[in-house]
Amino acid sequence: MPCELCDTPGGELLWQDALCRVVLVKDPGYPGFCRVILNRHIKEMADLPHAEQQQLMRVVFAVEQALTRLMHPDKINLASLGNVVPHVHWHVIPRFTDDAHFPHPIWATPVRAGGSRTAPDSGTLRIRLDELLQISYD
């Protein structure tokens, strides 16, 4: 069965190691929306060895921290659903009280026209991720 996250990068590549990659999703309503995607096809987090679960979550938290420092959102949403794409991946989504869906998930019905924000520069985000992930692996 074809898998979108096995067959495509899933967004603009920002960072990668042997276990996973971080991509920037081009969604104008949600600037800074990133995904952390496992580099092999596994359906559930519980199917990963414990050390890989921990390593993957360190990357998720580094992305959250980088986006918080660069964008100062009102909230960061972390989501691992996989109902549509059953491949381990995490959504890391900066949220603002004036976005189209706040306080509801971005997949819900919009409640207003969204505010206008720009995504962080991908080069700056790459540098910040490199710094944070170097620290978390030391």
- pTM score, whole prediction: 0.91
Q: Pull the structure tokens for residue 72.
A: 């100062």
Distance CA 55, CA 62 (A): 11
Average pLDDT estimate for 37-45 = 97
Query: Angle CA(48)–CA(81)–CA(32) in degrees, nearest 5?
Result: 100
Among residues 12, 8, 33, 39, which one has the least CA distance to residue 23? 12
Distance CA 100, CA 81 (A): 21
Distance CA 23, CA 79 (A): 15
* Residue 136, pLDDT score: 55
Distance CA 37, CA 99 (A): 25
Tell me the pairing of strands 12-16 and 34-38: unpaired
Total count of residues recorded for the chain: 138
* Residue 18, pLDDT score: 96
* Residue 32, pLDDT score: 93
Confidence of residue 129 (pLDDT cuts 50, 70, 90): confident
Q: What are phi and psi of 100, to 5 degrees?
A: -60, -25
Return the CATH class of domain 4-137: alpha beta
* Residue 17, pLDDT score: 95
Percentage with pLDDT > 90 across the chain:
72
